[in-house]
């Protein structure tokens, strides 16, 4: 089998021991084959009370600890994890499956391939995600920026999973005056109502709060949102659609082009 990056992964299924280096994938594996999950990062907080060995963070996994768990496969992500850590694990003889996810349909397809490679079949929740979100963006009704850090200000750009997800709610993600996937932006450009209808302030990776974030904007409205609903693929997608629809309902609509 080959992972999303085309790397050959030798799996003798059904897979019984998995270490996950990505919170979203940890939640997905736990919802699909909970008994198979033997290790996860310190950032893997879902499902609640997850009782598995911890292998440090997404950017600095403890390679020796992962190897000691004797996983059949380690699941990782191109954006979340470092290539050097994947190489180190493979050098130790560990099979690593790397996902590459930039869209909601891509998330469903990627996880479907992973579960099939593991010999688990497709879980019911994965089909439900497809029915909840659909596979077509809505006509754009408003432009938003999604901040991911402050001082310096960084925002979500395109192509990214978050931008695709919000397009399915009719919101176009823009990064005024900047390009790239997560560019730096001038905070003054974010407070320009001619360019933006709202700035979304998630609680991760930067922990925006009512007292830290909205104070930077005088002219453009802000919306505090759960970062998990913007960035986590997997079972989180089952609840994020309804939660985001409610949270973002107050953003005024105006006809915009997806530019």
Whether residues 121 and 37 fall in one domain: yes
Whether residues 148 and 107 fall in one domain: no
Whether the per-residue pLDDT at 140 is higher than 70: the answer is yes
Whether residues 198 and 234 fall in one domain: yes
For the chain, the domain total comes to: 2
Is the CA virtual torsion 176, 182, 188, 194 positive or negative?
A: positive
Instruction: Please give the average per-residue pLDDT across 24-53, as a whole number.
Output: 95
Closest CA to 25 of 182, 232, 187, 226: 232
What pLDDT, on a 0 to 100 scale, did the predictor assign at position 131?
87
Whether residues 146 and 118 fall in one domain: no
From residue 8, how far is each of 13, 23, 76, 204 by CA, in Å?
A: 15, 23, 14, 33
CA distance 225 to 44: 19
Whether residues 187 and 236 fall in one domain: yes
Query: Is residue 252 in a domain?
Result: no
Q: Say if CB 156 and CB 182 are below 8 A apart.
A: yes
Query: Is residue 96 in a domain?
Result: yes
CA distance 136 to 164: 10
Closest CA to 168 of 114, 105, 125: 105
Closest CA to 50 of 77, 73, 28: 28
Whether residues 157 and 89 fall in one domain: no
What pLDDT, on a 0 to 100 scale, did the predictor assign at position 135?
74
CA distance 188 to 124: 46
Whether residues 113 and 54 fall in one domain: yes
Domain limit, last residue, from 132, 164, 197: 132
Whether residues 127 and 172 fall in one domain: no
> What does the mean pLDDT of the chain come to?
94
Q: Say if CB 235 and CB 28 are below 8 A apart.
A: yes
Instruction: Please give the average per-residue pLDDT across 234-257, as a whole number.
Output: 88
pLDDT band per the 50, 70, 90 thresholds, residue 117: very high
Domain limit, last residue, from 132, 158, 189: 132
Query: Is residue 1 in a domain?
Result: no
Instruction: Please give the average per-residue pLDDT across 204-212, as a whole number.
Output: 96
Q: Where are the alpha helices (DSSP H) in 74-120?
A: 83-91, 104-117
Query: Is residue 149 in a domain?
Result: yes
What pLDDT, on a 0 to 100 scale, did the predictor assign at position 257?
55
Q: Say if CB 203 and CB 182 are below 8 A apart.
A: no
Beta 154-155 vs 18-20: how paired, if at all?
Answer: unpaired
How many residues does the structure list for the chain?
Answer: 259
Query: Is residue 259 in a domain?
Result: no
Domain limit, last residue, from 132, 160, 176: 132
**Chain segment 47-100, per-residue pLDDT in tens:** 999 999 999 999 999 999 999 999 999 999 999 999 999 999 999 999 999 999
CB atoms within 10 A of CB 229: 19
Query: Is residue 124 in a domain?
Result: yes
Whether residues 149 and 233 fall in one domain: yes
- What are the E-state strand segments in the chain? 18-20, 37-40, 53-54, 73-77, 96-99, 142-149, 154-155, 171-173, 198-202, 222-225
Q: Say if CB 215 and CB 184 are below 8 A apart.
A: no
What pLDDT, on a 0 to 100 scale, did the predictor assign at position 138?
86
Query: Is residue 11 in a domain?
Result: no
What pLDDT, on a 0 to 100 scale, did the predictor assign at position 72?
98
- What are the E-state strand segments in 110-197? 142-149, 154-155, 171-173
Structural domain of 187: 142-247
Whether residues 107 and 173 fall in one domain: no
More confident residue, 1 or 210: 210
Torsion of CA 44, 249, 132, 15, to 10 degrees: -10
Return the CATH number at 155. Answer: 3.40.50.1980
Query: Is residue 234 in a domain?
Result: yes
pLDDT band per the 50, 70, 90 thresholds, residue 119: very high
Whether residues 46 and 90 fall in one domain: yes
Q: Is the N-terminal amide bond of 14 cis, ω within 30° of 0?
A: yes
Whether residues 160 and 198 fall in one domain: yes
Whether the per-residue pLDDT at 255 is higher than 70: the answer is no
Whether the per-residue pLDDT at 40 is higher than 80: the answer is yes
**pLDDT above 90 covers what percent of the chain?**
91
């Amino acid at each position: 089998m080959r992972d999303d990056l085309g790397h050959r992964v030798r799996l003798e299924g059904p897979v019984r021991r998995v270490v996950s280096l990505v919170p979203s994938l940890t939640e997905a594996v736990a919802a699909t084959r909970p008994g198979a999950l033997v290790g996860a990062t310190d950032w893997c907080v879902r499902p609640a009370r997850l009782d598995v060995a911890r292998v440090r963070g997404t950017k600095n996994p403890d390679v020796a600890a992962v190897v000691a768990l004797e996983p059949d496969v380690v699941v990782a992500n191109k954006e979340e994890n470092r290539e050097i850590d994947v190489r180190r694990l493979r050098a130790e003889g560990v099979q690593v499956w790397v996902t590459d996810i930039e869209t909601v349909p891509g998330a469903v397809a990627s996880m479907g391939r992973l579960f099939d490679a593991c010999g688990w079949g497709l879980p019911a929740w994965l089909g439900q995600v497809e029915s909840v979100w659909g596979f077509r963006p809505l006509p754009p009704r408003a432009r938003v920026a999604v901040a991911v850090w402050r001082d310096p200000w960084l925002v979500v750009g395109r192509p990214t999973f978050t931008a695709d997800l919000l397009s399915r709610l009719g919101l176009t993600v823009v990064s005024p005056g900047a390009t790239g996937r997560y560019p730096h932006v001038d905070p003054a450009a974010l407070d320009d109502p001619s360019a933006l209808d709202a700035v979304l302030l998630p609680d991760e990776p930067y922990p925006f709060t009512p007292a830290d974030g909205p104070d930077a904007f005088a002219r453009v409205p802000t919306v505090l949102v759960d970062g998990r609903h913007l960035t986590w693929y997997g079972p989180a997608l089952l609840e994020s659609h309804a939660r985001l629809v409610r949270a973002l309902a107050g953003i005024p609509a105006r006809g915009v082009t997806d530019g």
